[in-house]
């Protein structure tokens, strides 16, 4: 992978697109951005080596949906970050929290995200922070995922995980979210997808994603309000999504979502109502 020295750039004069406790993303030009890690973050034992190894692994990945590193950035000869394509679009979070949304559209969006995650899995990529919807960008060409370095890339460990999943990981017994090497498994992404579907369908406060302390109260209230029958597939999905001790194997939701789409529409107050006709895009 190409290396580029950026020592002479005055980053104070460059537009910041995004910043966190460990890094900043700067706009270099209309086609390229650069992610620069804080010097304090890179002081960790072997952190520079680990990050550079993960970034170099991107050269063997062919996924148009994933925004990949382009060049390794050096400052004063030392690894400092990487450049990537500048993606113009809208955060999926901004779309998902809209007050009223059509269930058919929500289902299509969810199925597209699940399809991409399945492609990632074939490449050995896990997205532990999938529920951070600011990392999904809606463009004219389709969905694009950013935050490559936060993901688990084959045997390169993830650096971030959605807060709501930490309790599930701690309580996992039959379902293994980590293997013997400490790497996350596909089961974790399947759990994320379960939660994601419920959140984008019913929860218009999705930006308050950490529900560790009150998730059970929310789900009890949701089930009561929706009046979902015991045998309904949606009830099973909700229970799996919110119960950290649930030992029922997680699953991809393609068929279940299509089944839900045949039965229901979403009202303006985000409650389910039975379809009055069978004309829908999921037959």
How confident is the model over 30-81, as pLDDT tens digits?
Answer: 899 999 999 999 987 789 999 999 999 999 999 999 999 999 999 999 999 9
pTM recorded for the entire structure: 0.89
Residue 215: is its pLDDT beyond 60? no
Residue 198: band (very low, low, confident or very high) from pLDDT cuts 50, 70, 90: confident
Residue 85: is its pLDDT beyond 50? yes
186: phi then psi, degrees, rounded to nearest 5: -60, -25
Residue 211: band (very low, low, confident or very high) from pLDDT cuts 50, 70, 90: very low
Residue 170 and residue 103: Cα distance in Å, rounded?
A: 33
- Name residues whose C-beta falls within 8 Å of residue 276's C-beta, 6 or more positions apart in sequence: none
Residue 213: band (very low, low, confident or very high) from pLDDT cuts 50, 70, 90: low
The tokens describing 30, both together, are: 């209309």
Residue 269: band (very low, low, confident or very high) from pLDDT cuts 50, 70, 90: confident
Mean pLDDT value across the chain: 86
Q: Count the neighbouring beta carbons within 10 Å of the beta carbon of residue 134.
A: 14
* pLDDT value, residue 246: 63
**Most confident by average pLDDT, 53-57, 169-173, 256-260:** 53-57
């Amino acid at each position: 992978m190409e290396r580029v020295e950026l020592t002479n750039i005055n980053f104070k004069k460059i537009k910041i697109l995004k910043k966190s406790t460990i890094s900043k993303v700067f706009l270099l030009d209309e086609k390229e951005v650069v992610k620069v890690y804080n010097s304090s973050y890179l002081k960790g034992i072997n952190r520079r080596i680990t990050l550079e190894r993960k970034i170099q692994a991107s050269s063997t990945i062919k996924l148009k949906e994933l925004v990949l590193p382009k060049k390794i950035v050096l400052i004063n000869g030392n690894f400092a970050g990487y450049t990537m394509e500048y993606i113009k679009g809208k955060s999926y979070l901004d779309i998902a929290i809209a007050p009223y949304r059509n269930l058919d559209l929500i289902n299509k969006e969810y199925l597209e995200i699940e399809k991409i995650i399945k492609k990632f899995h074939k490449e050995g990529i896990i997205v532990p922070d999938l529920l951070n919807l600011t990392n999904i960008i809606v463009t004219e060409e389709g969905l694009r995922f950013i935050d490559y370095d936060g993901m688990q890339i084959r045997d390169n460990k993830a650096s971030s995980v959605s807060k709501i999943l930490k309790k599930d990981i701690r309580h996992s017994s039959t379902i293994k979210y980590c293997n013997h090497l400490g790497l996350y498994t596909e089961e974790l992404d399947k759990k994320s997808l379960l939660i994601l579907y419920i959140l984008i369908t019913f929860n218009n406060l999705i930006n308050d994603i950490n529900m560790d302390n009150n998730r059970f109260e929310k789900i009890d209230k949701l089930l009561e309000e929706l009046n979902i029958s015991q045998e309904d597939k949606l009830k099973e999905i909700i229970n799996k999504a919110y119960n950290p001790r649930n030992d029922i194997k997680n699953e991809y939701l393609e068929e279940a979502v299509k089944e839900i789409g045949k039965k229901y529409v979403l009202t303006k107050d985000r409650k389910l109502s039975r379809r009055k006709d069978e004309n829908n895009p999921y037959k």
